[in-house]
Amino acid sequence: MPSIIPVKEFAERRRKLMERMAPDSIAIIPAAPERVRNRDVLHPFRQDSDFQYLTGFGEPEAVLALIPGREHGESVLFCKERNPEKELWDGFLVGPEGAIERYGLDDAFPISDIDDILPGMIEGRSRVYYPLGKDQGFDTRVMDWVKVLRSKVKSGAHPPGEFVSLEHLLHDLRLYKSSCEIKAMAKAGQISAEAHCRAMKRARKGGYEYNLEAELIHTFMDHGARSTAYPSIVGGGANGCILHYIENIAPLKDGELVLIDAGCEVECYASDITRTFPVSGKFSPEQRAVYDVVLEAQYAAIDAVRPGNHWNHPHEAALRVLTGGLIDLGILSGTVDDAIASEAFKPFFMHRTGHWLGLDVHDVGDYKVGDAWRLLEPGMALTVEPGLYIAPDNTDVDEKWRGIGIRIEDDVVVTKEGCRVLTDGVPKTVEDIEALMAD
């Protein structure tokens, strides 16, 4: 299957990053390490998002060095060598020559030679851009290289004088999605939407939360999405009031709602969808009343996603609708302004209305520039996910509301005119949900 993100786009990303780097500098970006699950079993490997963004290279034990102005090539990869015996056990390796040919790197060396080669590339560079604190073991290795250079100052060596965090430059680039990135995210959203529809249909059979999780994973895999973007949340009844519930072991009961927050990855790009629906296929009057408030809040928030509005505008729009709805239902009293000022809504809506979305489900990028909320611009991708959660033990509200947890979430990209919803392939009105479940 051809990649959605072409090789030339990775090269363009590296070029843009190097343009932002100081003169006489070097950037060092390690791949993600493999993680032990238990004893000699490893977790499935998932590449570090920054490394993936700059290379598209999917192997561990690799390091990228970006060296603006280097005569023999500015982008250099260190990776594992081809090894037929090892590949018999663990699968194909690209190797240094393959990395140049397949990934458009300027130069490549065996990872086993990095201690001999990379310190010489650092030498003479005044500044090192590096993600300090991300990998303690590799931090130590980089510091050891610099110590060796410092020990040779009397012999004429020139160690770097400054270490600078790489994240600020790189993460600002990642915040703006290209058309190819949006295409990958849209595909992930389309697959995830189909998975949610399949889970809604399966819910009518009863069973357990994990039965619905199985339907999600089946659909992801069936369409070539080999990984979830995060552990799937399938919360039936009061479990829907637990924001990050991932046990997914409780029985599904007629008369209760089930909240599913799940999405897959396509080429490491995440989708993130939440839907809430009745196990029986029919909302009760109380469930529908709360649901309609959350849906109205989501519509208001999506409408506020447009260039020129700042990051907090969608949240403010959703919050006013949610708070007004709680007052209309008799759960809160007073005026909307007073309830917001006193944060009376907090027991029922305790999170933000969204987050950046991309290679990480909670993607990188500053939400504020200085003390001001960041303005929304075309190419930014975010989630819109208002919710209301009425705890089962909240004795301050009428018993009929207790245990109702509802969240509705979609993935949205800012466009020149407004926004585009990437995940509209799964129903979210009461009528559409009930019709799908009755089919």
Q: The dihedral of CA 50, 55, 61, 66: what is its sign?
A: negative
Active site residue 129: no
The catalytically annotated residue of 181, 209, 409, 434 is: 409
φ and ψ at residue 368, rounded to 5 degrees = -130, 150
Active site residue 72: no
Task: Report d(CA 339, CA 244) in Å as an integer.
Answer: 26
The catalytically annotated residue of 107, 265, 272, 363 is: 272
The catalytically annotated residue of 256, 261, 265, 267 is: 261
The catalytically annotated residue of 43, 351, 366, 367 is: 351
Closest CA to 298 of 273, 315, 310: 315
The catalytically annotated residue of 141, 355, 374, 420 is: 355
Identity of the amino acid at 22: A
Which positions ≥6 away from 31 have C-beta within 8 Å?
47, 48, 51, 57, 59, 60, 61, 62, 63, 64
The catalytically annotated residue of 19, 39, 40, 399 is: 40
CA angle 277, 281, 287 (to 5 degrees): 50
Active site residue 385: yes
The catalytically annotated residue of 385, 410, 411, 434 is: 385
Active site residue 362: yes
Active site residue 389: yes
Taking every pair of Cα atoms in the chain, the longest distance, rounded to a whole number of angstroms, is: 81
Beta-carbon-side half-sphere exposure of residue 279 (alpha carbons within 13 Å) = 23
The catalytically annotated residue of 256, 407, 410, 434 is: 407
Task: Report d(CA 4, CA 2) in Å as an integer.
Answer: 6
Identity of the amino acid at 120: G
The catalytically annotated residue of 37, 150, 226, 362 is: 362
Q: Which two tokens stand for residue 426?
A: 């799964």
Helix axes of 167-174 and 7-20: crossing angle, nearest 10 degrees: 140
Active site residue 409: yes
Under 8 Å between Cβ of 296 and 329: no
Active site residue 310: no
Active site residue 168: no
Active site residue 355: yes
Which positions ≥6 away from 140 have C-beta within 8 Å?
none
What is the C-alpha end-to-end distance of the chain, expressed in Å? 33
The catalytically annotated residue of 19, 39, 244, 431 is: 244
Task: Report d(CA 338, CA 245) in Å as an integer.
Answer: 32
Active site residue 407: yes
List active site positions: 40, 244, 261, 272, 351, 355, 362, 385, 389, 407, 409
